[in-house]
Structure 1
């Protein structure tokens, strides 16, 4: 497919299966859509949007009255490697949906739709997946891999591979890096004791925090504080 398609579509109750040689963005307007891929099972509702990359086999159906805004994106607009993405419809993505709706309803000139599609594709590359956003909000707590996989609607066996492809690190290493960054900040900017800092970062006690920090940084947290604060 060389041209961009932006239109409203509805889906039937029977499961259909196919793949396409283009990327597809789905914005629910009414109802929900069940989508199954090899690694994901999603019930897409109007609180989220979903990007499906080219060449992915998927089954889909809708069990209720439904209407979706669909943007079919030629591969020329997309990065060489892209993965499916389940995105919460925040203010920014709601605004994008509104602009695409205007294009779908008015069938304006092709260049404005092309410009908007390029913008959507660029946002797709920097969008933070829901599970990574969850990590940034909860990294001080204990986070189970199964919880993160469930947020993305991935099977746990596949989630770690998807996460490493997305970030270059394992979930465990990514969370540890966030904790270490926060630990350094607290050691440099506060006079809190080791027990208070360890509790703030979710460690059971100051001994486990000290061992972890020493293993990560090669120096005890007390000495790090002295070195950094002179």
Structure 2
């Protein structure tokens, strides 16, 4: 198994044949040209120029590229990494694109690694504090009906594994996490607006006020109207 003692940031290209390995360090992959097929036990990803990917230490993975390709690779020794990281697929938003640009610029300066190390610390901290894409999706769409398969697809996980991965990340099941967000929003609407039960149930994506009331009682033990009366003094 490969291991390293210092940060390595360089451009690499990959062949058309599948190769399989694991390593004792974390690795960020930033596509510059072409795409890369990556397979783990629970994920299948086609990594292209609008995304990036993090591979944690000791994760067996297969990889190949069927087109002309070039990738910026950041190999990170374990002492820079937070504990218990998992493979993470990310859209290349403005922040990640800026990070890729800065890493590219610093690779031109081979004599001074301090800037690369500083960027690596920034990247690993961002990895630790950033919400995975599916959790961002939940926060934007929790008022709607969300299927487990939709969330798993966002992370490129098989649905069977996604729930276990999600619980490891949040300490809750996807269903409990979504319900917690909806309940928090329901309480906010009950106490800060004059919306009727029908309006609140519609805002939260319930078919009618009766189903909203039953759902609220199952969590709080009292009806939403009674909750409003008790807490509005």
- Specify if TM > 0.5: yes
Name which of 69, 73, 94 aligns with 1:70.
Answer: 73
Question: For residue 166 of structure 1, what is the aligned residue in structure 2?
Answer: 169
Alignment partners' CA distance in 2, 1:82 and 1:171: 19
The runs of at least 4 aligned residues of structure 1 exceeding 2 Å deviation read 105-108
Instruction: Note the C-alpha offset of 1:30.
Output: 1.1
What is the aligned counterpart of 2:198 among 188, 195, 198?
195
Instruction: Deviation per CA, 1:27-49: give whole Å up to 9, x if none.
Output: 11111100000000000011111
TM-score normalized with structure 2 length: 0.96
Distance 2:71 2:116 in 1: 18
2:99 corresponds to which of 88, 96, 101: 96
Between 1:213-222 and 1:104-113, the stretch displaced more is 104-113
Paired position in structure 1 for 2:152: 149
Where does 1:1-230 land on structure 2 (aligned, <5 Å)? 1-230=4-233
Count of residues in Structure 1 that have an aligned counterpart in Structure 2: 230
In structure 2, list runs of 5 or more residues that go unmatched.
none
Please, what TM-score do these two structures have when normalized by structure 1? Answer: 0.97
Aligned mates of 1:10, 1:185 — CA distance in 2? 52
Distance 2:115 2:97 in 1: 18
Cα deviation digits, residues 109-136 of structure 1 (max 9, x gap):
1222111111111110011111111111
Q: CA RMSD in A?
A: 0.9
CA drift of 1:80 comes to 2.2
